[in-house]
Structure 1
């Protein structure tokens, strides 16, 4: 039991370090790329940038203060660990923006390059924080809460809320600055998704077939993968069929399709992206051919 608790503590400390690392990367993207070129981020950070530029209040102070209600919201809705990791991330972001405030811009003049590089850097930083259980911006938490109360999805609400943020940005950085900010935010959101989903590109295959034993054996021999299966009944035909589930990496996807197509051309096949694979029998075995 003591070893288990010690391991959990070490894992939590490792996550805090990664969240702080994500905050450092995000702050660098803001202070060395976006802000010197009058381009903002979305969410609470974007509001903080506008407030700092308008009233001369330190950006780090605004980031810390404006995120307090959302940290409380995250604590109530998700839990104390998420709140603790988010506090570490947001306070680190506030601190790093303060010490990096006078960094020279690494890119100037080229609007496209500014939005791409800035969006990628911020996306990497925020993605690392989210992947390790923390958040650097409270607007996502607010959108999750609203989605439970309103008939809209979380992503729709995030887009809706950020529309007002970028309208606010336009009052300080102008219309062009608001457009560039929206583009940078869009790029950052895609990078965040990539970081959260991981680079392994695992795929889950669900195969409905009348030849389960042959397919399972072929997958084991030719791909070195194991499968699970269960018996199902067709909703229209009432025929008894077998549903096979197998998780592979993306490099094996085409070979998997070839194996299924060769054995049962009439098999019903669906493929899903898998963001994370842990434990179980995902370890690949040597193939026989």
Structure 2
């Protein structure tokens, strides 16, 4: 492929990613305006603070989302890079504009005592939208970038800081929606975070399986025939026993994990197995 074709391909890919991020912002805005906010339920992060600020001041939600995310976009530019910042600007702008356009959209679920339905549906919708943005290199909320920055200066992990920051957000939310609304908001945020993880990783995300076995040839043969996956073979040594072993490694999808365990049990019930999540697989004949 020539340099001109490569450049054109990159531009086309960037355009598609940008379009998907815009769609993600639109979907998230729909979940907020058509499900959560009319039922006095908020989101977490900067969006949650923007919802509270909108209730306090009467300013449009989209305006506050855009303003409050500015410092986090700068953090994203400094910590991750200009591409991430550019796609995040696109996503946040999409969310801000969409919330303004859909402010008076009809509510699709009235609470009527069914708080679980509101939190589940709302969490799934906003999680799906945010997950689309994150999977394509952008973000709709900047609080995660703040957590990354603080984790480098404080003796806490990023996930711990995200949890702490959102506890603060939901305390602020309780001043507007009450304790019940804050608890519902926390549940919706939890559901959204799980959906985001699924969208980012995919239902068939990959795993690396390491098998230490004395039946290496039979194991490789069965994995190839019954699962259709290739394997690599390594010679390993026990750190204490100094005994020589062979380690079989194979990359599979999450949906194939149970089948892999069945194969291992059939070939060598005494095999030592470790399974690790793999963030990305490229090259070879892996589908």
Match of 2:232 in 1: 228
Q: Aligned pairs, how many?
A: 283
Query: 3-state DSSP class of the match of 1:28?
Result: helix
Deviations 1:20-59 (A, max 9, x none): 1110000000011111111111100011111111011111
Deviation at 1:173, TM superposition (A): 1.2
CA distance in 2, matches of 1:35, 1:160: 23
Query: Does structure 1 residue 163 correspond to structure 2 residue 167?
Result: yes
Unaligned runs of 5+ in 1: 284-289
Aligned match of 2:265 in 257, 261, 268? Answer: 261
1:1-40 equivalent positions in 2, closer than 5 A: 1-40=3-42
Contact 1:44 1:138 in 2 (8 A): yes
Query: Does structure 1 residue 150 correspond to structure 2 residue 154?
Result: yes
1:134-283 equivalent positions in 2, closer than 5 A: 134-283=138-287
CA distance in 1, matches of 2:81, 2:6: 21
Query: 3-state DSSP class of the match of 1:238?
Result: coil
Contact 1:23 1:96 in 2 (8 A): yes
Residue 210 and residue 127 in structure 1: after superposition, are their counterparts in 2 closer, same or farther (change >3 A)?
A: same
User: What is the TM-score normalised by the length of structure 2?
Assistant: 0.94
Deviations 1:94-137 (A, max 9, x none): 00000000112111122221111111110100011111111000
Contact 1:197 1:274 in 2 (8 A): no
CA distance in 2, matches of 1:220, 1:88: 45
Match of 1:87 in 2: 89
Deviations 1:244-288 (A, max 9, x none): 2112234433332233233333211122344543332214xxxxx
CA distance in 2, matches of 1:184, 1:238: 52
Query: 3-state DSSP class of the match of 2:204?
Result: coil
Query: 3-state DSSP class of the match of 2:152?
Result: helix
Query: 3-state DSSP class of the match of 1:256?
Result: helix
CA distance in 2, matches of 1:2, 1:221: 43
CA distance in 1, matches of 2:175, 2:235: 61
User: What is the TM-score normalised by the length of structure 1?
Assistant: 0.93
Match of 1:286 in 2: none
Please report the RMSD computed on the Cα atoms of aligned residues, expressed in angstroms: 1.5
Match of 1:287 in 2: none
Deviation at 1:220, TM superposition (A): 1.5
Query: Does structure 1 residue 111 correspond to structure 2 residue 115?
Result: yes
Q: Which moved more, 1:257-266 or 1:113-122?
A: 257-266
Deviation at 1:194, TM superposition (A): 1.2
Match of 1:69 in 2: 71
Unaligned runs of 5+ in 2: none
